[in-house]
Amino acid sequence: MNIQAPPRLLELGAQSLLRNEALAIMALEELPIELFPPLFMEAFAGRHTEALKAMVQAWPFPCLPLGALMQDHQPHLDIFQAALDGLDVLLAQEVRPRRWKLQVLDLRRKTHQDFWTLWSGMKVSVCSLLEPEPAQQMQKRCRVEAQAGLKPVQAPVEVLVDLCIKEDTLDETLSYLLKKAKKRGKLLHICCQKLRIFAMPMQSIRKILKVVQLDSIQDLEVNCIWKLATLSRFLPHLGRMGNLRQLLLSRIHILPHTTPDQENCLNQLTAQFLNLPHLQELYLDSVSFLEGRLHQVLRCLNTPLETLSITNCLISESDLTYLSRCPSVSLLKDLGLSGVNLTSLNLESLQVLIERTSATLQELDLDECGIMDSQFSALLPSLSHCSQLTTFSFCGNPISMAVLESLLHHTTGLSKLSHVLYPAPLESYEDVHGTLHLGLLAQLHAQLKQLLCKSGRPSMFWVSASPCPHCGDQILYDTEPILCPCYLPD
């Protein structure tokens, strides 16, 4: 039986003060700063909207991590609106409150998670008192303007938020935030580090992006069923995301017969890469325009990539050849080609690419590539030189036990290689129809384990991943088969 701890004296005091919101608001001017966080938490949990509104205006710290509190309390819309209303009143004042220090309202839910715990327990962290980076940059800009003799202006407040756009209409909280940003213009900056776009009319997307500080976006995912022509309407915004570090484009399609307009759209896309000098990770998934055009996509990259993932796409022999020579992939740490059919291609270029990145490559994903024994064997000498490799996955390829044993011998010298995910060997199938025999698979896996022990690498994690013979779901096999739920009795 759980016994709930009695409320602390500090909590009781905050609850007592909030019984009279007018009195609580009047007390804010003289309230010690260490009492602000616990009082704010009580006001938030108790839905004291007027007190919240006043406390936002008098907040004595550079950053208000509201998102971390929202994660714990799941607030109603009126609570969220009260906090933004308080910020709106603050920005409307020509002379701001004496104790006012708020420069950043952080609505992200996975940051500053220890702030409220530390302050509610009266443990002051040095980090809690430090100004967040956006605020420091803003103050520096204001000082420069003052030294230059420019007319001083009120520094804007930055609202940090991660956006996920996935409905036909905006949710009420985002709509309210955008409304306030439009109202206050340059005094309120919406900064979005992570932006996810799943489904929304392009017109609505563009309206949102007009309000967001595009140079604040570092991680962008566009996962929409778009034609190239639709993507082209988005490209001017992409080109203004100058601090972008991670870009994922998924499900972008072209017509079977390429038109001059489509070629023009593709050229516009690749030209935007010139405006992304900090891009480090590029993910291209299920895009139909890559085949024969990979050089067009990669040639405009300014800096070397750390991650290149091309998944569920068609590429040609010439694409693979260009990839092996491309200057932007010479320092790759993560290479993914999952779902790219390589069966009919000469993998000499892939061998060259692996050799070229052997000093930096840490993760390699060749799942579901249709790689045959002879092709895979040709890659082994290059793989054996990948001194930084930690994870290698090549599930879903028709590989024999003999080639798996050869792989083991080629990679036991790679001291950092800790995880290998391999397909069920061809010998573990009962018939030509691909029926997996779990007993045979267990025997073959045990043989590989014995070889690992003999080679001095018993701790290397070799796991087989194969489709369940009954339902087709992916299942793993370690020291013994991990049975799919469809095998288990009801």
Dist. CA 261–CA 382, nearest whole Å = 41
Task: Say what the pLDDT of residue 143 is.
Answer: 43
Mean per-residue pLDDT, 83-97: 85
Pairing of strands 219-227, 194-197: parallel
Model confidence pLDDT, tens digit, residues 175-194: 899 999 999 988 999 999 99
Q: Domain 332-489 in CATH: superfamily?
A: Ribonuclease Inhibitor (3.80.10.10)
- pLDDT value at residue 199: 81
The per-residue pLDDT for 10 is: 60
Bridge partners of residue 159, in order along the sequence: 105, 190
**Residue 152 phi, psi (nearest 5):** -65, 140
**478: pLDDT strictly greater than 70:** no
- What distance in Å separates the CA atoms of residue 114 and residue 306, rounded to the nearest whole number? 31
Using CA atoms, how far residue 452 sits from 175, 182, 482, in Å, is 57, 62, 20
Extended strands (E) in 324-425: 334-336, 363-365, 391-393, 419-422
| Residue 408: per-residue pLDDT | 94
State residue 151's pLDDT score: 36
pLDDT for 139 equals 45
**How confident is the model at residue 477, as a pLDDT?**
61
pTM: 0.86
Mean pLDDT of the chain: 84
pLDDT class for 75, splitting at 50, 70, 90?
Answer: low
Listed range (74-78, 394-398, 422-426) with the worst mean pLDDT: 74-78
pLDDT at 154 exceeding the cut of 80: no
Give the DSSP letter of residue 285: E
pLDDT at 97: 67
Mean pLDDT, to the nearest integer, of 290-307? 93
Residue 247 to residue 221: CA distance in whole angstroms? 6
Q: What is the spatial distance between Cα 20 and Cα 25, in angstroms, rounded to a whole number?
A: 9
